[in-house]
Amino acid sequence: MAKLTFSNLSKADLKRLVNLQEKPAQSSYSWLQVEGMVLTEVERQRLQFIQSDLVNLQVHLLNEPTLWARAIYPLLLLAERDSIQAWAGVPLYARYAQFEIEGVADGVLGKSATGFVEAPFFVVVETKRGVENQNPLFQLYGQLLAAAWLNWETEGLPSPEVFGCYTIADVWTFVRAEVEGIEQDVPTLRIEYSQEYGEKCEADTILKILKKIIGLKQDQR
């Protein structure tokens, strides 16, 4: 059985173990439709504070922990709803028929109970810079596979739907994933992409998408 980690995952690994189906980036996917969504006054005020803190910063020069603290995690916190909470540094593990996959997600959104997150449905990869830089897509795909397996194990859904994003500086790209045949030797991983959203100018859209995803997952439960 192959043993994979998020940080070392390659496209060759994925294509050997899953049927990978990637769709082009579009803004027309139903899960990205946020027209008509209204933010509360408190949410708008907090967004303005986050954006005002970023507007004069050279965000591409900040290190990853600083970016995470100033730009990424505050929006995840703002998207929290009921028992859905944002967590950072969350270990994930999944055991498929032909491979195991594990690692630590930079951030997640999921139902929190008794001090831990069970079956997170949204995962975040903060792109690293420097000589150890990895393509964030493959790390994200691995985390989506792990999250889908955890949701399948917890909820028994035949084709788990999970979401995620990767961030480069303050730019977010969202992904929707569906895993079919999760018990088969070669499961199918279907991927849909969003366009890029820059937090300095589009923080309200990013938050609305996060809230839309949370609403979709709550409707499924």
| Residue 119, pLDDT score | 84
User: The domain containing residue 46 runs over which residues?
Assistant: 2-220
The pLDDT of 180-191, averaged and rounded, is 96
136: DSSP letter: H
- Binned at pLDDT 50, 70 and 90, residue 128 comes out as confident
- Average pLDDT, stretch 138-159? 91
Indicate the pLDDT class of residue 194, thresholds 50, 70 and 90. Answer: very high
What is the predicted pLDDT for the residue at 142?
Answer: 97
Q: List Cβ neighbours of 17 (8 Å cut-off, separation of 6 or more).
A: 2, 4, 96, 98, 99, 186
Task: From residue 17, give the alpha-carbon distance in Å to each of 64, 145, 215, 216.
Answer: 31, 11, 32, 29
What's the pLDDT tens digit per position in 42-88?
999 999 999 998 988 888 888 899 999 999 999 999 999 988 999 99
Mean pLDDT, all residues of the chain = 92
Cβ contacts of 217 within 8 Å, gap of 6 or more: 84, 121, 122, 163
Q: Which of 25-29, 103-107, 130-134 has the lowest mean pLDDT?
A: 130-134
The pLDDT of residue 61 is: 85
Instruction: Report pTM.
Output: 0.94
Indicate the pLDDT class of residue 131, thresholds 50, 70 and 90.
Answer: very low
Q: Which residues lie below 8 Å from residue 113, measured CB to CB, with a gap of 6+?
A: 83
| Euclidean distance between CA atoms 47 and 91, whole angstroms | 29
pLDDT tens-place string over residues 115-126: 788 889 999 999
Q: How many domains does the chain have?
A: 1
User: What is the separation, in whole angstroms, between the first and last Cα of the chain?
Assistant: 33
Q: What is the pLDDT of residues 15-52, one digit of tens each?
A: 999 999 999 999 899 999 999 999 999 999 999 999 99
Whether residue 93 is predicted with pLDDT greater than 60 in this model: the reply is: yes
What is the mean predicted confidence (pLDDT) over 88-109? 96
